[in-house]
Amino acid sequence: MDNNFDILTLLKEKFSSEILSSETTFDMLSVTVRSASIFSIIEFLKTDPKTEYNFLTDICGIHYPDNELPLGIIYHLHNLRENRRIRIKTFVPLDKPEVATLTSIFSSANWMERETFDFYGILFTGHPNLIRILNVEYLDFFPMRKEYPQEDPTREDKDNRFFGR
C-alpha cells in the first residue's frame, strides 16, 4: 500500500495536470489519466528507475455509452522486480477515439492494440499495422460496443416465442 502511494505522488509531481483521478481497489492502484499524455506516462513508468513497470500485462477496451467520454482503454502494467501492479485508464470521445500507440516501447502492445481496435474501434495513432485481428475483415461494426447484440443477426431459425421475447 505504501508503494502504491509513492508511485501516485511521483506521478502527480511529474504529470500533475494529466492525472484525473486515482483509487486503490483490491491492492491495485488504478489511475485515470488524460488520453493525450498516455504515451509519456507509460514511458515514464517503464523507464524511470523508481517505478520500473517493465512488463505490459494487458491492454483492453471498455465502453460506457452514457459517459461523456464513452470509450476507455485500460492498461495493466507489472513491475516484475518488486511485484507491483498498476492499472492506467484513459477515456476518449466516440467521434475521435484516438490514443497514442505503445508499440515502440512494448512489442506485446501490437496485437493487444489491434484487438482493442477490432472490438471497440479505438484508433492507436502510429500503430504499424492497425487492422482487424480476430474478426473477419469485412465486418462493418465494432462488436464489443454495448449497442451491438451478441447474437448472430443472420440466424432465421430462432422463434422468439421460445426465448421469452
Partner 1 sequence: MPVKDPHIIIQPEDTDKVYTTLNLGPTHPATHGIFQNILTMDGEIIVDAEQTIGYIHRAFEKIAEHRPYYQVKPLTDRMNYCSSPINNIGWDLTVEKLLGIKTNKKIDYMRIIIMELARITDHLICNSVIGVDSGALTGFTYVFQEREAIYEIYEEMCGARLTTNLGRIGGFEREFSPLAIKKIRDLLERLPGVLREFEKLLMRNRIFMDRTIRVGQISAERALNYGFTGPNLRAAGVDYDVRVMNPYSSYDDFDFVVPVGTQGDTYDRFCVREEELWQSIKLVENALENMPEGKHHVDVPEIFLPPKEDVYSKMEALIYHFKIVMGEIEIPAGEVYNAVEGGNGELGFYLVSDGGRKPYRLHFRRPSFVYYQAFPEMIRGSVLSDAILTMSSMNVIAGELDA
Partner 2 sequence: MLSSNSSYNIVDPPDGYSSPGMFATRLDKVVGLARSNSIWPLPFATSCCGIEFMATMGAHYDLGRFGSERLSFSPRQADLLMVMGTIAKKMGPIVHQIYEQMAEPRWVIAVGACAASGGIFDTYSVLQGIDRVVPVDVYVPGCPPRPEQIIDGFMKVQELVANEPLRRRYSPEYRALLEKYGIR
Q: Which residues bind partner 2 (CB under 8 A)?
A: 134-136, 139, 143, 148-155
Binding status of residue 85 toward partner 1 by CB under 8 A = yes
Binding status of residue 135 toward partner 1 by CB under 8 A = yes
Binding status of residue 94 toward partner 1 by CB under 8 A = no
Residue type for position 109: A
Q: Which is nearer to partner 1, 30 or 35 (CB)?
A: 30
- Which residues have a Cβ under 8 Å from the Cβ of 60 and sit 6 or more positions away? 73, 74, 112, 115, 116
Can you state the angle between helices 2-14 and 38-47, rounded to 10 degrees? 130
Q: Which is nearer to partner 2, 80 or 134 (CB)?
A: 134
Which listed option, partner 1, partner 2, none, makes contact with residue 155 (CB within 5 to 8 Å by class)?
partner 2
Are the C-beta atoms of 100 and 77 separated by less than 8 Å? no
Q: Which is nearer to partner 1, 36 or 107 (CB)?
A: 107
Grid cell digits, residue 125: 495513432
Cα 129 from chain centre: 18
- Of the candidates 151, 59, 41, the residue with the CA atom closest to the CA atom of residue 114: 59
Residues that bind partner 1 (CB under 8 A): 25-26, 28, 30, 54-58, 60, 62-63, 74, 76, 80, 83, 85, 87, 106-108, 110-112, 115, 119, 132-136, 143-144, 150
